[in-house]
A and B are shown apart, each in its own frame.
Chain A
Amino acid sequence: MKLPKLLFIVALLIVFSTGYAQDSTLIEKNLKILSAIPGNTKMVLTGVAWFGFQSTFNDPVKTDVTNSFNSYGFSPMFLWKLSDKMFFESEIEINNGAMELEFAKLSFSLNKYMTIGAGRMLTPFGAYGERWEPIHIERFPNSHLLPDDNLLPDDTHLYYGAIMGVDIRGGIPLGSSKMNYSLYVSNGPLLSKDENGNPTGVIQYENLLDENNNNKEVGGRIGILPFSNSSLEIGFSEKHGIAGDRGNPVYGKTGATAYAVDLSYVKSIDAIKSTINIRGQFNSLKVDKANYYLTDSTNYTFDNTMQNYFVQFSLRPSMSRNKYLKKTELLFRYNALTPPKDALWGAKDNNGNGGTITRMDVGLDYWLSWKTGLRFAYESTAFPNGTKAKEFLASLVYGF
């Protein structure tokens, strides 16, 4: 993309964002007026809106350079404190014109260490889905390399998206450390099918209405924060469920087991007048051995193990005296996705052997408030066959 066009788009984003500063005082006044309304229940409407641009270079599929304003969305979140113990939360996401209910969950606090919840909830597996995916928390203009239909025959929602079920969760002090937990039972996963109705071996976890079998998925996460300042958290997650259709003679007992390890470290360091933020998650999915049928009635089997991970580092001079510098944040992210090597739908090298897709991202944020900011990133994705896709991404995220 030519430099003048790029500068014009950056200037547009800055112009839109300056409107924020002028309106923020009026928003504050209206929020205070709303809070004075009497009643036992207390409701908060919050959320985020976004608008993005993408420019693609060297796309291995297309031959032309693609420049487009490629994303827009609005995601209101409704929070209701129904009593000191009962709470309801829900979020709708309208992304590029498609609307989806992200979650709708009722929670009841049983005691200081345990809250029970029920409904459609963000997947309590790993840290990414519940804590890092929300667009005002994700520092980059896009998510990391996900096991979804851009790279696989279907979205997996392995560690992002929602489940339908019941969970218990809480935080527990342990001396100068603490731990937290989330344990759940939900409708189980299902085997994704091709256009002929044949399972492909891809697991689809967002099986919200559980129309394939009566088995339920069990899973959860345990987090440990060993330091008293909560700067480091390490999480371990596991889940298991039967994915095959009930009564199916071939896949009826095909199960899927997944693990995840997540880590986050956030520390303000006075010596460099900056805050560093390191986060990452490793995910592994193993599906029981099964034969998969092709359109010509032949079948094949493979070791159905998939792994992916990302590691992200950011540095923000938050303690700098320069009022512009303290609002910037430098970002770096490395991602990798390894589909099952012998699956026909996995990424292949030029010899037909399965391989790993890797991606590297470099980015820069400029924060206008704690929830609103401009984001810019350059990313390069490398495929096992030697091709590369390079993109420039920009977005404006507006929190309210």
Chain B
Amino acid sequence: MKKIAGILIAIAAVIGATIIINGCAATQMVIAKTGTQLWGENCIRCHNAPPSSDYSSAQWETIGMHMKLRANLTDDETNKIVAFLKSTD
């Protein structure tokens, strides 16, 4: 039980420190990121980055929902990445 409490406290401390250091809202630097940047940064976290030509615009909308859930992307990231992929389709 003590171990569980210790681990939970450690996790809470990490999250708390991150929130205190960064605040809750996204910074201007993050808000200003383009869909291209976000596609390059996030898609390669697990798999190779897919080219936009692999799927149609309608398919990218569906795939975007799937990736938002699987990778736990933020809402803003998902919308920008999908918009980028649709624009270059």
With A79-B66, A117-B69, A264-B45 as contacts: A179 and B58 at CB distance below 8 Å: no
Q: Is the CB of A229 within 8 A of B41?
A: yes
Q: Please, how many angstroms separate the alpha-carbon atoms of A375 and B5 in the complex?
A: 43
Q: Is the CB of B70 within 8 A of A131?
A: yes
Q: Is the CB of A171 within 8 A of B41?
A: no
Q: Is the interface of B mostly helix, strand, loop or mixed?
A: helix
Is B88 an interface residue, CB under 8 A from the partner? no
Q: How many residues of chain B have a CB within 8 Å of chain A? A: 49
- Per-residue A-contact encoding for B9-30, CB less than 8 Å = 1, 0 else: 0010011001101111111011
Note all chain A residues with C-beta closer than 8 A to B22: 174-177
Pick the residue among B44, B56, B61, B72 that contacts A181 (CB under 8 A).
B72
With A178-B74, A180-B72, A228-B30 as contacts: A173 and B25 at CB distance below 8 Å: yes
A265 vs chain B, min Cβ distance (A) = 9
B11 vs chain A, min Cβ distance (A) = 5
A243-299 with Cβ < 8 A to chain B: 257, 259, 264, 266, 268, 275, 277
Count CB-based A-B contacts (< 8 Å).
148
Note all chain B residues with C-beta closer than 8 A to A132: 46
Q: Please, how many angstroms separate the alpha-carbon atoms of A247 and B8 in the complex?
A: 31
Q: Is the CB of A370 within 8 A of B59?
A: no
Q: Please, how many angstroms separate the alpha-carbon atoms of A79 and B55 in the complex?
A: 13
Q: Is the CB of A137 within 8 A of B47?
A: yes
- Per-residue A-contact encoding for B51-89, CB less than 8 Å = 1, 0 else: 101111111011101101111111111000000000000
Note all chain A residues with C-beta closer than 8 A to B23: 174-175
Q: Is the CB of B7 within 8 A of A173?
A: no
Q: Is the CB of A81 within 8 A of B62?
A: yes
Q: Is the CB of B46 within 8 A of A79?
A: no
Note all chain A residues with C-beta closer than 8 A to B71: 131, 180
Q: Is the CB of A42 within 8 A of B47?
A: no
Is A323 an interface residue, CB under 8 A from the partner? no
Pick the residue among A46, A226, A367 that contacts B18 (CB under 8 A).
A226
Q: Is the CB of B57 within 8 A of A35?
A: yes
Q: Please, how many angstroms separate the alpha-carbon atoms of A231 and B15 in the complex?
A: 18
Q: Is the CB of B62 within 8 A of A182?
A: no
Q: Is the CB of A177 within 8 A of B62?
A: no
Q: Please, how many angstroms separate the alpha-carbon atoms of A253 and B45 in the complex?
A: 40
Q: Is the CB of B50 within 8 A of A371?
A: yes
A25-72 with Cβ < 8 A to chain B: 28, 31-32, 34-36, 42-44, 46
Pick 8 A–B contacts, CB within 8 A, sort by A.
Answer: A46-B63, A130-B70, A136-B47, A171-B68, A176-B27, A228-B30, A238-B4, A371-B50
Apart from A42-B58, A107-B65: 16 A-B pairs, beta carbons within 8 A: A28-B54, A34-B56, A35-B58, A79-B63, A79-B65, A89-B66, A112-B74, A169-B69, A171-B72, A174-B19, A176-B30, A178-B30, A178-B74, A223-B72, A229-B41, A264-B45
List 6 A-B pairs, minimum CB-CB distance, nearest first: A175-B22, A35-B56, A180-B72, A173-B26, A370-B48, A171-B74
